[in-house]
Structure 1
Amino acid sequence: MTYCVGLKIDRGLVFMSDTRTNAGIDSISTFRKMKLWEKPGERVIVLMSAGNLATTQAVVSLLDERTKAAADRAPTLYEMPSMFQTARLVGDTVKEVIAQSAPAGQTADSSFNASFILGGQIKGSEPRLFMIYPEGNFIECSDDTPFFQIGETKYGKPILVRAYDRRMSLAETVKLLMVSFDSTLKSNLSVGLPLDLAFYEKDSFKIGLNKRIGADDPYYSSVSDGWSDALKAAFQSLPDFSE
């Protein structure tokens, strides 16, 4: 299982993903689920993945390989004129990988499924954020839907819905995501540390923050402990039921 969040604020785009993959309770591994592409001054692209690990790795590897031999393998992520066209390219690559991997009759809804969060900015347009489905189609975030989640979404969503504000600072946004991920980690053992965090500041055309957060990270520990204490205090402050 996986948990990834892409979130849009006034300052730019913030991304966080876990790194746990498992094929059973006794087979747990760590894989990076966030991939960054950057052409300073021109474009930044961030892609996070959830679903079948072989499928997601094949999609990311294929996209990355084509950027390294662009003359022979066009189109590439570095040639797309807009983030919308970039989302189409990723969606087409998802369909290509699933079609090549699956036996006759296999569909995107089966064991080969994969979903992605794509975000970034290409010079001449605004930062944009998309969620790409296993079928290759996609939707874009809006004022009504300012963040996307993929993977194990239900435990970390309530705090995002309640506390998100597009005017939040980066520090506040990271705190919000930490709480969302901590709630998920405590509720589902198939999501686990370390976490990958990235921040793209609007119109900078370079990654502003790219950090891995492990179990020994003091800020993560303080947020986790503080949130637990705050929930207990809030619960205890509620009136008792009277018969």
Structure 2
Amino acid sequence: MSTKISSWPSATPMWVDLGADDLSAAKAFYADLFGWEYVSGGEDSGDYLLAHIGGHAVAGIGPKQDPAMPTVWTTFLASDDVEVTSKKIAAAGGQLIAPPFDVMDSGRMALAADTAGAVFGIWQAGTHIGAERVNEHGALCWNELHTRDYLAARAFYAEAFDVSYQDITEDGYVYSTIRRPLDGREVGGVHHDTELPDDVPNYWLTWFASEHVDGTAARAVELGSTLIAPVTDSPLGRMAIVQAPQGEVFGVIDAPHTNE
């Protein structure tokens, strides 16, 4: 278990949230799958909920703001100044979907899309720092960009967030880890996904840790999910990719048993 008690460094993927068509069903699904409990985001939050493990926030779930939008897990990247980051995103060729705005006293945020259309959030912490527990069962442990435009995506995030990369391409699998500017720590990934269906946009994939990937994947299927990628071994442990009953996609992977 790793508990985070201070703000996340800039460019770190540090929060994920889900906009659901059926909030009650989403709550029940993840409570069963990961043992999440829920706390209201506040009386002005519009039914937004903080999913907790052991009294610490790990993710957010709320009603979908636009019923026409797909049901997805959105990855948020930390920013020390959302206004500055938003300007850098625009200068790098990205698009601001929602310009910076305050979320009560929780923080300040914006929504954006990179040059290839992958959507992500930006979060400047106030009273809410993002994920307070990571790298344990049911908590966030990795975020990676799946993109058809690999070199352009790397150039965009380098310019917008000052990140660098470690190339770990092997046997035709084209992948880089993302290194945040503060200390060079590897905090995410970029995958040249050549198998994305034509109707699936480039996207950020959320990975949750599991103490028993086979059991978590099996339970997800029992709860109405589909396995986009079956349980398999990888250099980082057992893993699977799940499409939940409302359509959102996420990965589960062996809990890494490391600090943040």
Q: Same fold (TM over 0.5)?
A: no
TM range (shorter): under 0.3
Relative to its length, the structure with more strand (as a share) is: 2
Task: Normalising by structure 2, report the TM-score.
Answer: 0.26
Instruction: Say which structure, 1 or 2, has more relative contact order (CA 8 Å, 6+ apart).
Output: 1
Task: Normalising by structure 1, report the TM-score.
Answer: 0.27
Relative to its length, the structure with more helix (as a share) is: 1
Larger radius of gyration: 1
